[in-house]
Structures are given as C-alpha cells and as structure tokens.
Homo-oligomer: A and B are copies of this chain.
Amino acid sequence: MPDPEETFLAEYDPAAFPPVAVTVDVVALTMREGVPVALLIRRGVPPFQGAWALPGGFVHADEDLATAALRELGEETRLPSDVHIEQLGGYGSPTRDPRMRVVSIAYLLLAADLPDPRPGTDAAEAAWVPLRELGFGTGGPTPRPLAFDHAAILADGVERARSKLEYTALATAFLPAEFTMAGLREVYEALWNVPLHAANFHRKVLSVPGFVVDTGRLTAQGGGRGGRRARLYRAGDATSLHPALLRPAGEES
C-alpha cells in the first residue's frame, strides 16, 4: 500500500520524484551486398568507452520521441527520405545505466541503400555490422559485447523485423523503390536464415493482394553469371499481408 502523501505529491508535483533521464536508442537495419547489417557506433566517452553500442542519445525538451530517434541517427548517417521507423519499446531497468536512472525508448529503423556512416559527435567510430557477426544467423563468430543493455535491444529489434516479415509488407522497406522477386526473397532468406523455394515464394507473393505491383519493366541486364532478366516490382498499397507469409515450421537451418 503506497503512502497517500507520496501519491498526493506525485499528482501535484511530478518533479518531486528522483531525476530520470529519457533517451532514444535506434536499431537501424539495412541490406548491404545481400546481407542484413546493423548500424553500431563505438563509444568515445565513458561509460563503456570503447565498447560498441546502438546509436542514440538524450531526448531534447519539447521533442517528440520518434523525432529524437531520427535526429540521433541522422548524426551518424545520411537518411533517405523514405525510411520505415517504428517503436520497439521502453527499456528502464534501474541499473541499465551506471550514471543515473535512464529510461530509453528504442526504435527500429529500416531503409534501403543507407550510405557509409560518419562518426557522430560522441562516437569514435561508426560501422555497418553484419547481423551474422552479432550472434544472429547461422554460426558466425562470438558476438562482441555491446554497451548497456543494447544487446537485448538489438535482439528485440531483429526479432521484431523477423516476425513482421510474416504478416506485414515490411520486407519492401529494406529494398529500393523497384526490386526483383529474387531481391525480395533474399530479404526473407537473409533475415530468417532459411532457404525458400523460389517458385513457391513467387506464387505466394503474387497471390497476396497489394503486396507488390508489376512495373511491367525488366532489369537492364541478366544476372552476373547469366540468366533471364527479372521483372521489376514496386511496393503495393497493402501494409498487412492476407494471407500471411509464414516462416517454415522447422528450426533455423
């Protein structure tokens, strides 16, 4: 049972509570050379100086949370106009930051063709790191430790992306405006770490209303080692997929 006086003060003077800082952290994912990568920075200042971390920072006064996420990420890389951003959730363990109580709102950002990052003001280094090197996907080296609870946030972001591929048109957010069926399939295969049957995938995608629309045009050239020219598609109106594109039942291969 709480102290009534405390509750009274809380209603009338929220500032009477111990100070809490609010930050945003961003899980930014994109495809580079056919493999999914995440943007990480190496911290130039304590705590966790020298450790890799998610881009992020403190929310400014009178700034919206999503705006803060975009601003912080814009300090590390040039953002294209059409990014997908959604909130992952709040992370507020009392011990997650050794300095003080910090509650962080994490965002998931997906985009195509994000350029090489530039180190921000408080980052010593910034790099796109393949998810395989971060403990996602098959095998790979031992993942490097991340600062704060950023490993958990990154894992939540990757899992969110993986599961939203099933029932939303999220995969197109990883791709440029026009893409091939094979490119779309690559997104699914790379994030799920599963080989998909190309013919069945093709049939399924076209059977979902509004998922992709045929541009009527073809790629300029066939594949590097030969092959028919692929049809080009654009993302359709649909945001949710009916019926869904479910992950194969078995475990990751």
A interface with B by C-beta (< 8 Å)? 1-2, 4, 7-8, 10-12, 14-15, 17-22, 45, 57-65, 71, 75, 87-90, 92-94, 99-103, 105, 120-122, 166-167, 242-244, 246, 249
Contacts and interface: CB of A to CB of B under 8 A. Distances in A.
B22 A15 contact: no
A2 B89 contact: no
B89 A64 contact: no
Contacts of A21: 14-15, 17, 20
Residue of A58, A75, A92, A101 most packed against chain B (CB within 10 A):
A92
20 contacts: A2-B121, A7-B57, A7-B122, A8-B121, A10-B58, A11-B122, A14-B99, A14-B102, A17-B58, A20-B20, A20-B21, A20-B59, A22-B103, A62-B101, A63-B94, A89-B89, A89-B105, A103-B105, A242-B249, A244-B246
Copies in the assembly, this chain: 2
B63 A90 contact: no
A14 B244 CA distance: 44
B10 A57 contact: yes
Contacts of A75: 1-2
A75 to B, nearest CB: 7
Contacts of A60: 17
A121 B62 contact: no
Contacts of A242: 249
B63 A15 contact: no
A121 B87 CA distance: 32
A89 B12 CA distance: 25
Question: Nearest 6 CB-CB pairs, A to B?
Answer: A14-B21, A90-B90, A18-B61, A90-B105, A65-B92, A62-B94
Given A14-B102, A17-B59, A20-B21, 12 more contacts: A10-B122, A11-B45, A11-B122, A12-B45, A15-B21, A15-B100, A17-B21, A17-B58, A18-B61, A22-B103, A59-B92, A64-B94
A89 B90 contact: yes
A166 B204 CA distance: 20
Given A89-B87, A121-B4, A122-B11, A103 B243 contact: no
